[in-house]
Amino acid sequence: MVLLSLRDVSSEPLTPFVVPRRPARLLSSALLVLTLFTAACDDGPTLPTDVGPITLTFASNIQPRGVISRSFVVVEPGTVSVTFLSLSVTDIEMAIGLGTTDSEGRGCTITSSVTARPDAVNPIISTTLTSGNYCVQIADVGNLTGLASFLITFTRP
């Protein structure tokens, strides 16, 4: 706040009054509101049209006779490849599957599966998918005797 004392022509003091510093605050507030309004009117980020394949990691622990799945969405039709990279228990086969989920990503109805040991080089499933909701699943086929950790990657368009 600024305290001013005004004098008239006769040089006698007039009643002092306070001039608030609101113009600076008002200007700052107006600029903030304008900035937020402009940001709110944005059409959103522009996504690249050609992003190429995306590799996702699916890693967790599985119990004996356990089944675990992870859902994902394919926006653009293309090839999906699943690679069973590792399992903490050696020389054990597991069932790896690819399937569909409902529109909310729940459930996993297997449409393609293989029983395999980990292979860090070669995909165990590779197929062309249309746009939709899908899942990757791993299941113990009766070989595990205790908790095991696994790592699966899958590449989608």
pLDDT in tens, 44-65: 444 445 567 899 999 999 999 9
Q: Which helix (H) or strand (E) holds 39?
A: helix 22-40
Q: Which residue has the tokens 């293989």?
A: 114
Global pTM value: 0.66
8 A C-beta contact, residue 136 and residue 96: yes
Q: Of 132, 129, 154, which Cα lies nearest the Cα of 77?
A: 129
Of the two residues 46 and 114, the one the predictor is more confident about is: 114
> For 126, how many CA atoms within 13 A lie in the half-sphere containing its CB?
4
Residue-level pLDDT at 11: 47
- Which tokens go with 100? 């569909």
